[in-house]
Structure 1
Amino acid sequence: MSQFKPRRPATGAAIAVLAIALTACGGPGGSQDEGAATLTFGVQAPPNSLDPAQLHDGTQRYVWGSLYDTLIYSDNEGELQPAAAESWEYSEDARTLTLRLRDDMTFSDGDPVTSEAVRVTLERTRDTAGPQQNNLGAIESVDTPDEHTVVLNLSEPDPNLLVALAFGSGVIGDPDTIDDESTALNPVGSGPYVLNREETVDGSTYVLERRDDHWNADAYPFETVTVRAIQDRTALFNALLTGELDAGTVDETQAGQVERAGFTLQRVDGISVGQIVIADRAGEVVPALADVRVRQAINLAFDRQGIIDAIFLGLGQPTTQIFNTLSPAFVEELNGEYEYAPDRARELLAEAGYPDGFTLTMPANLFVQQVQPTITQALADIGITVEWEPVPAQQSGQTTNWGMYFNLGAVAPPSRTVALYFEESGSQNPFGTTDPELDGLLEDLAAETDPEAANGIYREINAFAVENAWSAPIFLQSTNWATRDGVEYVGTANALFDIRVFALSR
């Protein structure tokens, strides 16, 4: 059996020392009363919903991840750690996963968190159309032999399941209120914070108040956290300078000014992947995309380093693969596959029967704005005309409305990336594309229990994706986090978008 048990917990003395250290630091800027530290930071997009079945991973997690516990936690290094589940164990055939819950958890209304709450939430998310549904597709049934034991019976081994339970698929909702309309805006969760509805403005400002009775309250030094959605990057920059924010991301042109204003900069490389997902590989909406030569031509159209230098002022890394350099699926040699070659791209289009190019439509949302003109020009240079259709900020392109779309996706463990992009039901595979070679690799992966052997299969899947141009990765984005005196950003490229990436500076 494959079994996980938590490490020995810290002693009471160690916890006491930590609590004293946090309290002594005061709040951001050193202006807070002891024990009343606050944090205000900016993100670009608000959560689309706080309903467990409609949660989006990424920066929206800063809000919903504060209101809900997840069964498992992915730490700063991407390693899985106990959370609501203090231990878990797979059967030998990997078709049964048993999780043991903590016995000291309560919802924000005071009711205890039980295995029944986990069952109701998992089954509801699995059966409800939404961004998390496909992650739980292997769960046939959920048993609850006692109040703190959950048994997941699987139709087949699922190498992504444990990781999914550390993301939005693994939250625990209150079974008494989960179906109420109010859950989308003001849910009852078991997380370390509750939403202050009086001060929260949906779509703009989310005020979170810490629950001191939470089982892991010591991990959250900020009594009040305010998350502000500021789509305009200049407005976010100005909010930092005027003291409205304690933390936020800035680009290279703004870095010097915020440092002179007293902020500390922390650069995090490879935090997200900017790519064009070439989703319509069967040519259902855009017939040309069914030809691998067309997809390869799209990859050859981009001067990746030039884009990073011109748009991001060097803040990023060129890439032709969707795994970052820290991932065990990363293959250095693959980054040499698609050097900028517009002449060769035009030749490939002609060979595929498109000497005069073609026209397609792509969705235009908040995340593509910065690179939209560059994508338009680069593809026009090889004969492809892009018409942009405006869509809401929270919407990417994971529908069959468009043959391809730009996606700025957070780096994730390889099992999750594979599930999102290469599984037939993956949210980043909206047309459900399959391939015999890929299917064989996915079957091998599902049956593999040795981590090193699994990493080898991930690298094979990566090579398949690059060779067959399932997408056109352009850059690994780096991020500059600016933090005011008294606040420290401690996240890495593998860290979740979680309040715990912020700490009181020593």
Structure 2
Amino acid sequence: MRSTNSGRPRALAVASMATVMVLAGCSGGSGTTDEADTLTVNWGGFPENWAPGAEMEAGYLRVPYENLVALDAGGAIRPVLATRWKQTDEALTLTLRKGVTFHDGTPFDAEAVKANLEFIRDGETAYAGPLKVIESVDAVDAHTVRLNLSEPTPSLLTMLSTRATPMGSPKAIKAGTIVRTPVGTGPWAYDASASSRGNRMTFTYYDDYWGGEDSVGFRTVELHAIPEDSSAGVALAVGEIALTDTETTQLGSIKINRHLRHLTYPALRNNPMFFDRGPGGAFADVRVRRAACHALDTQEIVKLEPDFKEHTQHFGEGEPGYNPDIEGYDHDLQTAQALMAEAGSPQVSVEVLAAPFNEKQLRVYAEQLGKAGIEVTVRPAASPEYFSQWNSGRYALGLGSNDELTPYDWYKAWFAEGAPGNPAKVESAELKAAADAAIAAGDSDLADELWQKVTKIVSDEALTCAHLTGEELIAWNTEIVTDVKASSQPWETNLVDYKALRPAGE
């Protein structure tokens, strides 16, 4: 596990004073660990909430946490904390791995699974929606848990593989401390004494990890917070960090440095959501929603973000729910204005919350919507406020990432009457009937065709539109780390296969 490499590249000899200060803040201080055994990663910041079900990026979550199951490269379910499973229309029964403990010593057992799933299901994020199907959770014995379902849900195992459902210590969940201090079952446990608030979060190998020490290449993982891509690029080149996410603007510097490599993978689905659809709401009239969709010009966003790609719908070709008959909404300002006139030229004035990472896009959208007669005020907010409020119902319009992998999860998260992402709590009779039929079909041959009808209605009703996907760009220093590859878990940002990474020269 230890690296035999004693030198690190010094390709960039001069850095700005601001960069030097950033690097000093990230790498200095007491409690630092053996460099040869330490993987230093920069994702640009830290989650404000580490609790299971919170909206945190996977690159953070998958250091201390594990799921019950995962997806392999072919999309098949593979065991992690659950070793076997049996699913019927009425229940999903899981056999749990023995000999697993959380980082605080709490046993991982059926009661722990029950505590986690109920905590996430009863939460307020969109992740709660697809788990509402779980009517109750029975701890059959210490290592067997049964999820009793209100309706057939063949996609439930897929949901249990995603960042929506990591397993956290029930003791820490009950105490509320898990919000600030992650406690999972993964190879690395949070080490507060070796961390530096705001600069570095250190995770050290958990000696009682069920997978054993040989399952990982580094004993320590340090997460750093260098928000500027140029500063992170300098840190990467001089060996202060081993791996970072970055932007296409940095590719030139990466390519000319013989020690640096990069990869890209599809990681983000991006689309606006019309929340205020209830009676009298700003977007209650489907003509107003369609007008908004025609007013939006995603090509302008692609010019700003070259890694973005335009799509007619949420799901891609080959994925469940993809419907080739969905044409989407072409940018057509004349049609948008005509639809607004047909709707009676309503005075639509709404506010949208923006985070640092999507404010630029939202300001472009606000200008475009204004030309159709929809006035949008963009209110900047820090990321923590954004994640807790953007889809709370306080704002009529939102822009977020819908990372659900199946049409069932997408529908239950955002469009069903009781969905957490549907604060107006409205759903057309046509959409409900189509979804009910698709759900009743279970995993039959007819199911995908029925879910295609659901996604077509979502598009026709303009509940969302302007679909974009973005790629994650990861760069690393080959003199520090090797065997870097994207995770097999799809549509997760800031993520590599941590356990596959090995020190250079090992």
Q: TM-score, normalised by structure 1?
A: 0.83
What does 1:428-443 align with in structure 2 at a 5 Å threshold? 428-443=421-436
Residue 367 in 1 paired to residue 360 in 2?
A: no
Residue 416 of structure 2 corresponds to: 423
Q: Is the 8 A contact 2:102 2:184 kept in 1?
A: yes
Residue 49 in 1 paired to residue 46 in 2?
A: no
Amino acid at match of 2:162: F
Shift in alpha-carbon separation, 1:366–1:378, aligned structure 2, 3 A = same
Q: TM-score, normalised by structure 2?
A: 0.83
Deviation at 1:148, TM superposition (A): 0.7
Secondary structure at the counterpart of residue 300 of structure 1: helix
Deviation at 1:471, TM superposition (A): 1.0
Amino acid at match of 2:294: L
Q: Is the 8 A contact 2:72 2:78 kept in 1?
A: yes
Structure 1 Cα separation of the partners of residues 4 and 414 of structure 2 = 43
Amino acid at match of 1:279: F
Q: Is the 8 A contact 1:411 1:493 kept in 2?
A: no
Residue 381 in 1 paired to residue 371 in 2?
A: yes
Residue 464 in 1 paired to residue 457 in 2?
A: yes
Which residue, out of 224, 248, 263, partners 1:266? 263
Decide which moves more: 406-415 or 187-196.
406-415
Residue 199 in 1 paired to residue 191 in 2?
A: no
Q: Is the 8 A contact 1:220 1:500 kept in 2?
A: no
Which residue, out of 128, 131, 134, partners 1:136? 131
Secondary structure at the counterpart of residue 66 of structure 1: coil
Decide which moves more: 458-467 or 128-137.
128-137
Residue 393 of structure 2 corresponds to: 400
Which residue, out of 350, 359, 383, partners 2:341? 350
1:408-448: CA deviation from partner (whole Å, max 9, x where unpaired): 34463444323222233333322223121211222122222
Structure 1 Cα separation of the partners of residues 436 and 323 of structure 2 = 21
Shift in alpha-carbon separation, 1:221–1:87, aligned structure 2, 3 A = same
Residue 275 in 1 paired to residue 274 in 2?
A: no
Secondary structure at the counterpart of residue 227 of structure 1: strand
Secondary structure at the counterpart of residue 173 of structure 2: coil
Decide which moves more: 277-286 or 374-383.
277-286
Q: Is the 8 A contact 1:193 1:210 kept in 2?
A: yes
Residue 317 in 1 paired to residue 309 in 2?
A: yes
RMSD, aligned α-carbons: 3.1
Deviation at 1:240, TM superposition (A): 3.3
Residue 248 in 1 paired to residue 244 in 2?
A: yes
Q: What is the count of residue pairs matched by the alignment?
A: 472
Residue 82 of structure 2 corresponds to: 85
Q: Is the 8 A contact 1:277 1:471 kept in 2?
A: yes
Shift in alpha-carbon separation, 1:169–1:405, aligned structure 2, 3 A = closer
Tell me which stretches of 4 or more aligned residues in structure 1 moved more than 6 Å: 22-31
What does 1:488-499 align with in structure 2 at a 5 Å threshold? 488-491=484-487, 494=490, 496-497=492-493, 498=495
Residue 478 in 1 paired to residue 476 in 2?
A: no
Structure 2 Cα separation of the partners of residues 412 and 29 of structure 1 = 40
Deviation at 1:45, TM superposition (A): 4.8
What does 1:174-193 align with in structure 2 at a 5 Å threshold? 174-193=169-188
Decide which moves more: 392-401 or 170-179.
170-179
Deviation at 1:100, TM superposition (A): 0.4
Residue 62 in 1 paired to residue 59 in 2?
A: yes
Amino acid at match of 2:308: G
Secondary structure at the counterpart of residue 102 of structure 2: coil
Shift in alpha-carbon separation, 1:132–1:299, aligned structure 2, 3 A = closer
Shift in alpha-carbon separation, 1:435–1:66, aligned structure 2, 3 A = same
Structure 2 Cα separation of the partners of residues 419 and 301 of structure 1 = 27
Structure 1 Cα separation of the partners of residues 75 and 411 of structure 2 = 16
Deviation at 1:318, TM superposition (A): 0.9
Deviation at 1:142, TM superposition (A): 2.1
Q: Is the 8 A contact 2:183 2:190 kept in 1?
A: no
Q: Is the 8 A contact 1:278 1:471 kept in 2?
A: yes
Q: Is the 8 A contact 1:319 1:475 kept in 2?
A: yes
Deviation at 1:332, TM superposition (A): 4.2
Residue 117 in 1 paired to residue 112 in 2?
A: yes
Structure 2 residues not aligned, in runs of 5+: 11-32
Q: Is the 8 A contact 2:38 2:220 kept in 1?
A: yes
Structure 2 Cα separation of the partners of residues 115 and 493 of structure 1 = 25
